[in-house]
Amino acid sequence: MSGIVIIGAGQAGASLAAEARTLGYSGAITLIGEEPVAPYQRPPLSKGYLLDKIDRDGLSLRAPFFWKDHDINLTLGRRVTAIDRATSTVRAGGEIFHYEHLAIATGSSARQLPEVLGGSLNGVYTIRSVADVDAMAAEFRPERKLLIVGGGYIGLEAAAVGAKLGLKVTLIETAPRILQRVAAAETSSFFRELHSANGVVIRESIGLDRLVGEDRVSGALLSDGSELAVDFVIVGIGVMPRTRLAEDAGLVIENGIWTDALGRTSGQNIWAAGECASFPFEGRQIRLESVGHGIAHGEQVARNILGASQAYGATPWFWSDQYDVKLQIAGLNDGHDRIVERAGDQRSRSIWYFRGDRLLAVDAINDARAYMTGKRILESRQTISPEYVADASIDVKSLLSRAVKLSQAA
């Protein structure tokens, strides 16, 4: 039995399978997942699931009967060990799966703290899977000392959960400021103040020399010579695309698994989607790590497998929930040379990123209207004058009517 075989049952793989069937594909669809649980949402892991506000069923991407009702062969708890391009097969758990089209949606894995720095000690965790969060759940007890290594979104979300549950939380970041890689100083400043107000100690420009402990972590030696007593540690230092299968199969790797605008890899009838894949964007090959991208990319690749031949061009969007604050981001701020901050009330604001007069991205903090306005401008290939954005007398929704096509703005 051949058809479409999908390696990876995360957001991209599940979306690809569902879209192919929705569009009327009548052949076999096999979705192979390495974890023993049905496809689920990952963003709530560091938020609602960790807070015990969402249970395992609430994480599920689809109702339990969906896969059977749509004749999708959901194969769980199987690790694909090889792709054989010559025979158009993949091997998983001793079983051989034949494919007409193969889609690789293996996602990414959390960067681990090296063993030499104490990464193998008990009590050191990353947040990437249900199993990861289940393993650390019992650690979250009031007054315990939690060290978070890394000031990105995962680290900050975990810090917010720890603070809410009454833990003593310290977060260290080697860069001069938290969120430095992904956000403007204005956005970083807002979240630094938010966490400080909730009792989190944030130490920037501080690295980790090593964790200490016999079998279990008990302390941390920092780059400034100080030492912290800790009960457990969460490492949030980014992710890496899972490309080993593709590399072993001889596929081109470039910032992830290389794909063209349609999602095709360098191998015949082999596609890739989601966080493991890179794709062309404004003259460069980029890779995105977000739920929105996983859904949109997976669905577009499904359409192209079925013959649509449409280039992937979704506007990137992201979000983060910390305490009662929602950060929504539209676009990519790479290469910006100007920032305009649009004030809201004390609890809301938006940061608009420009290159020259071209709008690149928007960070909206508790400001859904600014987010939707910026996203619609970006999706329509328009831009807006920075002066209009800065003018508080202009209602944010009115910015849409003042937007102009990029060709006109050039």
Q: What is the mean pLDDT of residues 325-345?
A: 93
Burial bucket for residue 122 (CB in 10 Å: 0-12, 13-18, 19+): exposed
Q: How many helices and strands in the chain, by DSSP H and E?
A: 12, 28
Which residue type does 392 have? A
Tell me the mean pLDDT in the region 354-375. Answer: 96
pLDDT (0 to 100) of residue 410: 44
Q: How many CA atoms lie within 13 A of 31 on its CB side?
A: 29
The domain 324-409 having CATH identifier 2.170.150.20: the answer here is no
| β-pairing verdict for 108-110 and 277-281 | unpaired
Sequence spans of domains, the chain: 4-109+239-305, 112-235, 324-409
Flag whether pLDDT at 67 surpasses 50. Answer: yes
Q: Which fold has domain 4-109+239-305?
A: FAD/NAD(P)-binding domain (3.50.50)
Largest CA distance in the chain: 66
Where do the H-state alpha helices sit in 147-184?
Answer: 153-164
pLDDT tens profile 208-263: 999 999 999 999 999 999 999 999 999 999 999 999 999 999 999 999 999 999 99
Q: Which residue has the tokens 């003259």?
A: 283
Beta-carbon contacts of 156 under 8 Å, excluding residues fewer than 6 positions away, are: 171, 178, 179, 191, 195, 320, 322
pLDDT, tens digit (0-9, with 9 covering 90-100), for 105-152: 999 999 999 999 999 999 999 999 999 999 999 999 999 999 999 999
Q: Are 333 and 361 in contact (CB under 8 A)?
A: yes
324-409 and 4-109+239-305 share a CATH fold: no
Q: Average pLDDT of 308-332?
A: 95
Q: Does the pLDDT value for residue 352 go beyond 50?
A: yes
409 pLDDT more than 70: no
- Give me 332's structure tokens: 């990519």
User: CB–CB of 354/338 below 8 Å?
Assistant: yes
Domain 112-235 coded CATH 3.50.50.60: yes
Give residue 408's pLDDT: 52
Q: Give the chain's mean pLDDT.
A: 95
Q: Which of 298, 398, 226, 367 is closest to 31 using CA atoms? A: 298
Specify the pLDDT at position 1: 65
Strands 232-235 and 124-125: parallel
- Contacts of 382 by beta carbon, 8 Å cutoff, 6+ apart: 359, 403, 404, 405, 406
Residue 351: in which H helix or E strand, if any? strand 349-355
Neighbours of 147 (CB within 10 A): 27
Going along 113-269, which residue ranges are E strands?
124-125, 145-149, 168-173, 201-204, 208-212, 219-222, 227-229, 232-235, 239-241, 257-258
The pLDDT of residue 407 is: 60
Pairing of strands 29-32, 404-405: unpaired
| Secondary structure class of 257 (helix, strand, coil) | strand
pLDDT in tens, 11-64: 999 999 999 999 999 999 999 999 999 999 998 998 889 888 899 999 999 998
Residue 404 Cα to chain centre, angstroms: 31
